[in-house]
Amino acid sequence: MLKVCIQGLGFADATMTTAVSSKLDKNGRPLFDFVGIELNNTQGISRVNSINNSKFPIPSNDRKLLNEIKKSYSKDNLKAFSINHHFKYADIILAIMNCNLIVENGIEKINVKTFINGILTLSELINSYKNIP
């Protein structure tokens, strides 16, 4: 089974986490061992605890989404952590980061700062693992 790690467990990340972790093979077994990684702060720990208690970490009225995350967790292929070392065991890493629309000097622009910082952090982590078997 391929190990997939996702950076972040906000709404878009948690939705992707639910979609990917719920995929099954033709025998009904999970295709992926899925790990969500969140920041080690109050909000991140709350999201991690939600996932690890089979709950969607963001308020949602989408019953299918809420049920799918419970199913994934019950199949034991979905876990969440607030520590980064799980990236080194990943076969696949997903990174979903927001790019907010901002107005600067009267001009609308896409703020890619969060995206760039997230990718830099992820690349530093991956680079630090390159010599680890």
**pLDDT tens, position by position, 16-46:** 999 999 999 999 999 999 999 998 999 999 9
Question: At which residue do the structure tokens 């952090």 appear?
Answer: 121
Whether 132 shows a pLDDT value over 80: the answer reads no
Cβ 78 vs Cβ 17: under 8 Å: yes
| Rounded-to-integer distance, Cα 17 and Cα 69, Å | 8
9 by Cβ neighbours in 10 Å (0-12 / 13-18 / 19+) ranks as buried
Q: Where are the domains of the chain?
A: 2-96
Whether this prediction's pTM lies above 0.85 is answered by: no
Cβ 6 vs Cβ 19: under 8 Å: no
SS3 77: coil
> What architecture is domain 2-96?
3-Layer(aba) Sandwich (3.40)
Output Rg (C-alpha) for the chain, integer angstroms.
16
